[in-house]
Structure 1
Amino acid sequence: MLNQMDNDEGQLVNFDSATLQIAKETDETIIQDENNIRTTSSSSASHVPSIPFKHVDVHSFFSDRHELVEKAIKDCQDTLATDQDDEIIGTWLLTEISLWDTEKERIVILTKNSLITVKYDFISLKIVEFNRISLIDVDTISVGELQYPTTSIAPRLNGFADGLSSAIQCAVRKRWSSITDPSDVNFEPRTRNMMGLRLMWNKGQPVSFETKWNPFSKKIPFITFTSHPLFWYKGLKEEKLRFDCDAFRAALALILPHGVFMESPLIVENYLGLGAIIHNRNSLGFFKVRGKVSF
């Protein structure tokens, strides 16, 4: 009686058969999807997306200590945001990407009238340097994926560095047999695979050759941010917001006209990339515990 029932038209339906048929179709779909995934992986494009900051030990960051970040932000607010008429909109700990593609840890304080970026020493607990940008000067905010120029060899160097690092780790751990995905160890060019935000105040004018190629120039008319490495490792949403570049963008949208925002790839003009790769892979722009020393 449980296997057969009358429907509204009085016909008998065998649900056991229907169940078996559905299960069979589901199994076939899964197998087909797995085959599609394998085919896609084997014919992947030459630029492989990489997991942001997968090679870093986030627990070695001094900023991984919540109370330390809160103290640092309070110190910066008390020292730099002292204008009672300039309301503080929000504070974050983000990654600033320089003109030379080097990643640097920065405290960001957004007020009603200005943007303050701070290099803060999380070891000695002091402000090292800061920069104040008047929001009235900002004419464009570009939001998009960080990309290299088409002629840059930086993606190839990134791919080689990631592949070599993965190969060494597997060899040391003697786990070659456990690798089932060939993409775990390969030397294909690697994209940045990160979204970012760039504030510009150059009124549409190109950056001069002298400014662009002077590593000591302080007159760069734009600043680029992306999320802090800790963003990808924090579990709670409230914790992630402190390190989230998109949360910073949302706060900017509350106080700046909609017309200044545009969606566009953020070109990082790094053509050779060797110096930036060494700097970024060793997190030299972040305060960390590095073996027996910290800097």
Structure 2
Amino acid sequence: IPSFMGQNWVRIILKSGSSSFCVSDKQLAVLVMLVTHLYYNDTRAFLSPQPGTLNQAIKDVEALVNKEADGSVHGMWLMAEVDHWNNEKERLVLITDNTLLVFKYDFMMFQCEQIQKISLNFIDRISYGTFSFPKRSLLQREGEGVRIFWDRLREPSFSSRWNPFATDFPFITFTYHPVRNISDTFAALCDIQNFREKLKDAAQKAHTMKPVPGKANGVLVLNQQIHIDAYVGAMSFLGNQNKLGYSMARGNIGF
């Protein structure tokens, strides 16, 4: 039971079992699950209510940009990465002159935990569309996303596809962050359409300025479904429902 409900609220529910309004154990469990679901899907529990959190995060990640190697920053976005097992993970994404930088940032502890760098002149394809799964898959995902490819000739190995911790995929997938509807500021920060356009332009320019020998120059932009080749995902279902891939307040702790 999440701590935000409080002991008094729980006592009221339990006392109702001995009154004329009888609540069975099963009904109580369903009610608690419903309230928990509503709490963890309330975007107010994310980073937005904390004063200065976003500004501090922007300063922290911009300080990690290597001006000589990466160049100047052209834009920053707050999105959710979707991995090959349909797990959501909160990410800050920067586009610079030469690099696409993906940051795993802890908004509760104010620190960057991981950086992934993708050279823009290696990006060869950008896909945008709704998500799809195999016919017999038990998984589903609403909304739209964008997938960036940087090695069209390399397919993920069989072992990587079935390894939930594999990170050697030649692509990365993003979808909208849950806070995008809170305000105009967050709507702009989470705008995937704008991100796609900026990335296309930056990658095209990088291909022209720094062509890769033996690699076809240019970026192919496609409007097509983004396929996630996963069938069963109890871990992703529980993780996504409880927003475990996001930094957020969870009672007296946050992660």
User: By the TM > 0.5 criterion, same fold?
Assistant: yes
- Selected match of 1:243 from 190, 205, 209: 190
Q: Secondary structure at the match of 1:197?
A: strand
1:114 aligns with 2:103: no
| 1:16-64 deviation per Cα after TM superposition (whole angstroms, max 9, x unaligned) | xxxxxxxxxxxxxxxxxxxxxxxxxxxxxxxxxxxxx996111111245
Q: Decide which of 261, 264, 267 is 2:227's aligned counterpart.
A: 267
Gaps of 5+ in 1: 1-52, 156-191
Partner of 1:220: 169
Most deviating of 196-205 and 249-258: 249-258
Q: Distance in 2 between matches of 1:154 and 1:85?
A: 37
Structure 2 counterpart of 1:240, which letter? A
Aligned to 2:128, the other structure's residue is in SS state: strand
Q: CA deviation at 1:85?
A: 6.9
- Native 8 Å contact 1:58 1:64 kept in 2: no
Query: Is 2:240 the counterpart of 1:293?
Result: no
**Equivalent residue for 1:43?**
none
Cα deviation per residue 1:116-137 (whole Å; 9 max; x = unaligned)?
Answer: 1111111111111111111111
Paired with 1:55 and 1:122, the residues of 2 have a C-alpha distance of: 16
Are 2:45 and 1:60 aligned? yes
1:184-235 Cα deviation digits (max 9, x unpaired): xxxxxxxx2211100012224321112222233221111000111111x223
**2:136 counterpart (151, 164, 170):** 151
Provide the residue aligned with 2:35 in structure 1: none
Kept in 1, the 8 Å contact 2:45–2:248? The answer is: yes
> What is the distance in 1 between the residues matched to 2:145 and 2:132?
10
What secondary structure is seen at the aligned counterpart in 2 of 1:154?
coil
The one-letter amino acid of 1:239's match is F
Matches of 2:51 and 2:136, distance apart in 1: 41
- The one-letter code matched in structure 2 to 1:281 is Q
The alignment of Structure 1 onto Structure 2 pairs a total of residues equal to 205
Letter in 1 for 2:187: K
> Are the counterparts in 2 of residues 95 and 228 from structure 1 also a CA contact under 8 Å?
yes
**Matched residue, 2:152:** 203
Moved over 6 A (4+): none
Gaps of at least 5 residues in structure 2 are: 1-37, 205-217
Q: Which residue of 2 aligns with 1:234?
A: 182
Displacement of 1:244 in angstroms is 1.7
1:285: Cα distance to partner? Answer: 0.3
2:49 & 2:98 partners in 1: Cα distance? 30
CA contact (8 A) 2:176 2:190 kept: yes
Q: Which amino acid aligns with 1:234?
A: I
2:240 corresponds to: 280
Q: CA deviation at 1:262?
A: 0.9
Equivalent-residue separation in structure 1 for 2:195 and 2:91 (angstroms): 13
Q: Equivalent residue for 1:15?
A: none
Whichever residue aligns with residue 255 of structure 1, its letter is: A
- Matches of 2:48 and 2:87, distance apart in 1: 19
- State the SS of the aligned residue for 2:52: helix
2:46–2:247: 8 Å Cα contact kept in structure 1? yes
Letter in 1 for 2:82: I
Who is 2:56 aligned against? 71
Q: Structure 1 residues 141 and 71 mapped into 2: Cα distance closer, same or farther (>3 Å)?
A: same
Identity %: 32
Q: What is the match of residue 135 of structure 1? A: 120
Q: Which amino acid aligns with 2:157?
A: S
| Counterparts of residues 6-155 of structure 1 (less than 5 Å) | 56-65=41-50, 67-83=52-68, 86-155=71-140
Distance of aligned partners of 1:253 and 1:63 in 2 relative to their CA distance in 1, 3 Å threshold: same
Superposed CA deviations along residues 54-110 of structure 1, whole A, max 9, x for unmatched, are 961111112454631121011111123433871211001110001111000001011
* Closer/same/farther in 2, CA of residues 146 and 65 from structure 1, 3 Å limit: farther
Which SS does the other structure have where 1:83 is aligned?
helix
